[in-house]
Every structure is written in C-alpha cells, then in structure tokens.
Amino acid sequence: MGFLIAVLVNAAALWAAVQVLDGLEFSGDLIQWLVLALIFGVVNAIVKPVLKIFTFPITIITLGLFLLVINAAMLYLTSWLAAQIGLTFTIAGLLDAILGAIVISIVGMALNYALGAMGVD
C-alpha cells in the first residue's frame, strides 16, 4: 500500500510542477502519469542515493545547495527514460529542471505530511 501511495504522491507532485512551470511539459492520460511517476520514483530510489554519495564533498561545500542540481538531474534522467518508452516529458532548460525539482519537493512534502496526519502510511 505504501508503494502505491508513493507513486500517487509522485504523480501529483509531477503534475503540479508541469502545471506551474512553462518549461516542463507532459501530456498523457492517467496511466501515463502513473508510469512517469513510477519512473521518477525508481530513479530517485536507485540513482539518487549513489549520486549523493559521490557528490557529498560538493554538497558540503555548497551547504546543501548542490542537492538542487542532483534533483534536477533526476528530472532529466526521468525525462530521458520516459522518452525511451514513448512518453514525452520535456524539460526546457536547467533552470526549469531546478524549479521543477523545488516544486516537486514542496508538493511531495506537503502531501506526505497531509497523508501522515490522516494516518495513511
């Protein structure tokens, strides 16, 4: 059940980022949104921890701001992987990827907090 909730939270956060930012584009039905969210979740679960380990010194020097670049890279990787299976999730530029990562983080935190307050795990 927790896995399904995580995918739904990712889908909602990605949807919010696409709605707020002109530089992020995705058009698809509900199933395609869920597939995109699944790709994003897998990328964040597998690739992101490895990148965080390798970039730890840079992250410390920048007081954590480099994590925004890592999150933007995860969006780019999600976009590339989505294109490999025929989904079109496009990112116009690095600034859009960074802003998208910020929106996704904020929406994801808010939804996780709300779901936790409701007792949904």
Chain segment 77-110, per-residue pLDDT in tens: 999 999 999 999 999 999 999 999 999 999 999 9
Cβ atoms 28, 37 nearer than 8 A: no
Angle between helices 30-54 and 2-20 (to 10 degrees): 100
The answer to whether the pTM exceeds 0.85 is: yes
| Residues 26-70 pLDDT 10s | 988 999 999 999 999 999 999 999 999 999 999 999 999 999 999
